[in-house]
Amino acid sequence: MYQFDHHMEVNIIYVCKAIAYYSFNLIFQSRQNVMLFCKAPYQINWKEIAQQKKMEDKNKLDRVKARIDAIPDFPKPGILFRDIFPVLSDHGAFSDLIDLMTSHVKSLSVDVVIGLDARGFLLGPIIAQNLQLPFVPIRKKGKLPGKTIQVEYKLEYGSDIFELQVDSVKEGQRIVIVDDLLATGGTMSAACQLVTKANATTVECLVVIELKDLDGRSKVPSKVHSLVEY
């Protein structure tokens, strides 16, 4: 039971009318006080709400998929490149994408969002900002100032090095790593190794697109979640 002064009377009545699924009893004891008794929300159909949310998410994902382009023979002959830039150029589709990724990251209860060089920088900071979390970049060698920790990873021809700034991730923190694409898994695996070197934990690797035929997931030491699979 909650007791309010008479200045709250209009607000209380408005709220009660707005929430149709709840049962309220209003008792006016005097001109000076309003007493509000709230019964349990026995009429809420949680299953229906969950189904509605699932359908909304499916519609959002369909709009994102519709804006992903397939570019043949890029960056070299025989490669079919999946281009997410049309998604970013479409305000509605981009909003849908960020909503889906933000909602998923929120369910993970992480401390830090890490984005990979370079398209992970287009997604990670917005997700982090939405959830009021810090964003930390992982970049290729020579791109970050100050002291860094490094991990070398193999490319199709040769190798490269990923770097993470010292103290940008604290010991014991829970991390989600965000990127646009999971292909062979080399860069994502290296990013997970960097997080481990920082004595933190990669809770999940979140990507927009996963190329299933390349089986990059098997090379990544942490859980992988992708929104779209090809």
From 81, 100, 94, select the one nearest 122 (Cα to Cα): 94
Q: How far apart are CA 129 and CA 204, in angstroms?
A: 18
Contact in structure between 175 and 112 (CB atoms under 8 Å) = yes
**Which amino acid belongs to residue 192?**
C
Residue showing tokens 């939405």: 130
Q: How far apart are CA 210 and CA 84, in angstroms?
A: 12
164-182 burial, b if ≥16 CB within 10 A, otherwise e? bbeebbeeebebbbbbbbb
Positions marked catalytic: 119, 156
**Which amino acid belongs to residue 203?**
V
Q: If DSSP codes are grouped into helix, strand and coil, which group holds residue 185?
A: coil
Rg (CA), the chain: 24
Which residues make beta-bridge pairs with 209? 181, 228
